[in-house]
């Protein structure tokens, strides 16, 4: 068995198969011993945007503590959870991993606060959305190949990266945007990556929230899924120490939702019987899903985290400084392109010539969005530091 057939062996017929892949925008010769989705994953791991994730905030700013999740460790946890499910359901594991590792490549520094700030700055120029930016990174911004811009990933990986987008953007994006206009689903690997993202952050933010002292175990006991597993662990191990109690509880919470996800998805696949990825795409709703009970518990935890962690004053306090930093950088660069490094200034001039003011602003947003947290602080200091002799 050679080529695509070898890589598709043992996969479900409704999985993303290499034999029926919609391929790459710029056709390339096969990679030899690697499959095309493996090749996508490898391209993502080698790109600059991937390495920058280590210095980008997930919820807690990187320098607040070495043990908090960053965008990089978050992406690895998402991939790890999703790969387990993919393998169990005979879906494409390399494609699932590629989508998970790439899903946050377009995130700004400073987490969602940074995204909101940049979106506000770009309001008159088409807005800014991190999910769309992840696609822009792999399609346009990475410069690694002699023959084309971006990473030239397969359609299926790009389809998975673009989780949501407005109709206006969908029309502009061509093939990969069409499903939003036609109200079709993405492939199962993309659906899976989306839910693995939610499983990962729901659980690791409990751990990080406790570590940061923003929430307590007593407060978490208001949340059904936490309380159930916490009680079970305490009953089984009455003398367990607090750290192990928390970790054992979270471990069981992840196992609980992952098992539910596998079982509910199996049920839906057996009912719908999709014979190909195109039949998956034609379904009315997603086939990868939680059961109703598990979904409710998942949202209960999500609501708790929003109230007690994401909107905690220590987190929102960090947000204000971050928003100011990004906003000031954006407007300074937009007003004076020469403040940016030469390659970004040249990109801004090129996009301005092509698209006018919106193009100029887009290139500035690309530069700002690509920054890590600490690089944004350094750039802010460079741009706004008073020149020697001018301070009083
Ligand atoms: Mg994520």
Per-residue pLDDT of 254-284, as tens digits, reads: 999 999 999 999 999 999 999 999 999 999 9
Neighbours of ion ligand 1 (CB under 5 A): 104, 197
Q: How far is the CA of 197 from the centre of ligand 1 (A)?
A: 5
pLDDT of residue 306: 93
How far apart CA 37 and CA 43 sit, in angstroms, is 10
104 Cα to the center of ligand 1, angstroms: 6
* Separation of CA 120 from chain center: 20
User: How do residues 82-121 score in pLDDT, each as one tens digit?
Assistant: 999 999 999 999 999 999 999 999 999 988 889 999 999 9
Domain assignments of the chain as residue spans, ordered by start: 3-314, 315-384
Give residue 390's pLDDT: 57
45 CA to centre of ligand 1 in angstroms: 16
- CATH T-level fold of 3-314: Hypothetical protein af1432 (1.10.3210)
Asked if residue 45 lies in contact with residue 101, where contact means CB atoms within 8 angstroms, the answer is yes
Eight-class DSSP state of 159: H
With a CB cutoff of 8 Å and minimum separation 6, the contacts of 343 are none
pLDDT band (50, 70, 90) for residue 347? very high
Are 250 and 223 within 8 A, CB to CB?
A: no
The candidate with the shortest Cα–Cα distance to 146, out of 305, 26, 258, is 26
- Model-level pTM? 0.95
* Residue 157 Cα to ligand 1 middle (Å): 16
- 115 CA distance to ligand 1 centroid (A)? 13
Under 8 Å CB-to-CB from 321, ≥6 apart: which residues? Answer: none
Distance (angstroms) between ligand 1 centre and the Cα of 193 equals: 9
**Distance between CA atoms of 125 and 119, rounded to whole angstroms?**
9
**Distance between Cα 342 and ligand 1 center (Å):** 31
Cα 75 to ligand 1 centroid, rounded to whole Å: 6
Q: What is the pLDDT of residues 178-235, one digit of tens each?
A: 999 999 999 999 999 999 999 999 999 999 999 889 999 999 999 999 999 999 999 9
* 201 C-alpha to ligand 1 centroid (Å): 7
Per DSSP, what are the bridge partners of residue 57? 70
Contacts 24+ apart (CB under 8 A), 355-364: 357/125, 358/125, 358/126, 360/334, 361/121, 361/122, 361/124, 361/125, 361/334, 362/122, 362/125, 362/126, 364/330, 364/333, 364/334, 364/337, 364/340
Instruction: Look at residue 143 and give its three-state secondary structure.
Output: coil
């Amino acid at each position: 068995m050679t080529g695509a057939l070898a890589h598709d062996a043992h996969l479900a017929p409704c999985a993303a198969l290499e034999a029926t892949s919609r391929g790459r925008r710029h056709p390339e010769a096969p990679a030899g011993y690697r499959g095309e989705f493996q090749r996508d994953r490898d391209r993502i791991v080698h790109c600059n945007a991937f390495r920058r994730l280590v210095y980008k905030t997930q919820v807690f700013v990187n320098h607040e503590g070495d043990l908090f999740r960053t965008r990089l460790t978050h992406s690895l946890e998402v991939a790890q959870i999703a790969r387990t499910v993919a393998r169990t359901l005979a879906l494409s594991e390399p494609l699932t991993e590629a989508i998970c590792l790439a899903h946050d490549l377009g995130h700004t520094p400073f987490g969602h606060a940074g995204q909101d700030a940049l979106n506000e700055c770009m309001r008159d120029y088409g807005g800014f959305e991190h999910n769309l930016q992840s696609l822009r990174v792999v399609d346009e911004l990475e410069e690694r190949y002699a023959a084309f811009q971006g990473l030239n990933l397969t359609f299926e990986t790009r389809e998975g990266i673009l989780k949501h987008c407005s109709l206006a953007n969908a029309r502009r994006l061509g093939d990969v945007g069409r499903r939003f206009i036609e109200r079709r689903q993405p492939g199962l690997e993309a659906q899976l990556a989306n839910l693995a993202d939610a499983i990962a952050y729901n659980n690791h933010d409990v751990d990080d929230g406790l570590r940061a002292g923003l929430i307590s175990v007593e407060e978490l006991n208001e949340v059904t899924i936490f309380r159930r597993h916490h009680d079970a662990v305490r009953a089984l191990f009455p003398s367990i120490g607090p750290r192990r109690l928390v970790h054992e509880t979270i471990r069981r919470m992840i196992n609980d939702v992952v098992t539910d996800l596998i079982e509910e998805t199996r049920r839906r696949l057996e009912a719908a019987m999709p014979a190909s990825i195109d039949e998956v795409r034609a379904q009315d709703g997603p086939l990868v899903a939680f059961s109703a009970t598990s979904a409710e518990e998942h949202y209960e935890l999500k609501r708790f985290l929003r109230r007690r962690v994401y909107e905690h004053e220590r987190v929102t306090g960090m947000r204000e400084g971050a928003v100011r930093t990004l906003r000031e950088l954006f407007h300074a660069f937009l007003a004076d392109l020469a403040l940016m490094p030469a390659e970004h200034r040249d990109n801004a001039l090129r996009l301005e010539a092509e698209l006018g003011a919106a193009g100029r602003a887009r290139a500035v947003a690309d530069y700002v969005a690509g920054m890590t947290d600490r690089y944004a602080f350094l750039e802010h200091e460079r741009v706004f530091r008073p020149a020697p002799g001018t301070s009083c």
